[in-house]
Amino acid sequence: MRTRALLQFRMSRERLAATLPDALGWIARSARDDGPSFSVARVDIEPVVLEELLRWGRARTGDVTRMRIARLTHTWSREELGQGPVELERAVEREPPEVVNLDAAYVGRWSCNCCDRLDLEQVAPLEVTEIDPEVDLQLTATREVLVATGFREVVERAGATTRPLAGNVEVLQLVTPPKVRIAPVFPLEAIDQGCTCCGRRAYDRSDRVEGNLFTDGATGLVVAQEWPLTVEPITFVAGPEVAGQAVEPLGWRGRVSSEPIHAAGDRVEPGQLRLFRSGFRPAFLGLGLRDALAAAGARLPPCRPVRIAAD
């Protein structure tokens, strides 16, 4: 596993170079100023070096730590991905493609009488902007999966389904039905008591390693990373287990009432889908499809291993 760190320091690049120990001086050479009192660096870093850097960064100058943020991302080897499904990660180096026709591409219906959860049905091709030409598989900002047209035969041979995009023949949508049930264990954290009608609870995905941006961001050190999810075993039992999306969105926010506020199954008013659509549904690939794309030479985004919940 390789680790890449986005680091923010509470000092200029010049001061950082003068303050870091000699063994860590190479980090300053990768840094750039981020305003008059901060600098940032994005580096590949070994675990032992990271531990040394964090020890140095926790030391305080006055009332604040030398470092403010260390955001970690990991690249997993094929062996470390295991044999189960994998979660697709969004690239951190650039903004993801945006779906500009959400209200036209999807029909939303109320999933429950007493809360604002939605059931979504795609009824038209997606129209997207800012496709990344450097990768052959990528996620949109709303977690739809896009694949380069040249790999259509590979994904369909593996059992996946594709859809054309509106106005773009170079990229296809890889269909990811909402069939993956994420187990409510760490890194998920419940944020409410659940809907009294449907019983569903809202969960956030914790990225905490050390500190918290809300309580420590002003004066302390915050270390964060994305942790692997755990999915229910029934998710990938039947069929080719090719591709899927989470049944319930993470980070959902919306009204929850003890009494009916609308009728389940009724359609959301046109133009209101963006207002009520909330959270995101992680996207998953079966390892067979991931391996088939890699063998065909596809430039893939980072993939994160997924744990399977015990029966």
Distances (CA, A) of 232 to 21, 177, 188, 307: 46, 16, 14, 9
Q: What is the pLDDT of residue 311?
A: 58
Q: Are 213 and 290 in contact (CB under 8 A)?
A: no
d(CA 97, CA 146): 9
Q: What is the pLDDT of residue 104?
A: 93
Residues of the chain with pLDDT under 70: 92, 234-241, 311
Q: What is the pLDDT of residue 271?
A: 84
Q: What is the pLDDT of residue 91?
A: 74
The terminus-to-terminus CA distance of the chain in angstroms comes to 28
Rg (CA), the chain: 22
Q: What is the pLDDT of residue 94?
A: 80
List, for residues 66-80, the tens digit of each pLDDT value: 999 999 999 999 999
d(CA 144, CA 138): 8
Q: What is the pLDDT of residue 149?
A: 97
Q: How many CB atoms lie within 10 A of CB 208?
A: 15
Strand partners, 117: none
* Angle at CA of residue 278, ends 195 and 139, nearest 5°: 135
d(CA 160, CA 87): 16
Helix (H) or strand (E) holding 69: strand 67-75
Q: Are 118 and 144 in contact (CB under 8 A)?
A: no
Q: Are 216 and 65 in contact (CB under 8 A)?
A: no
Q: Are 149 and 169 in contact (CB under 8 A)?
A: yes
Q: What letter does residue 301 receive in the DSSP assignment?
A: P
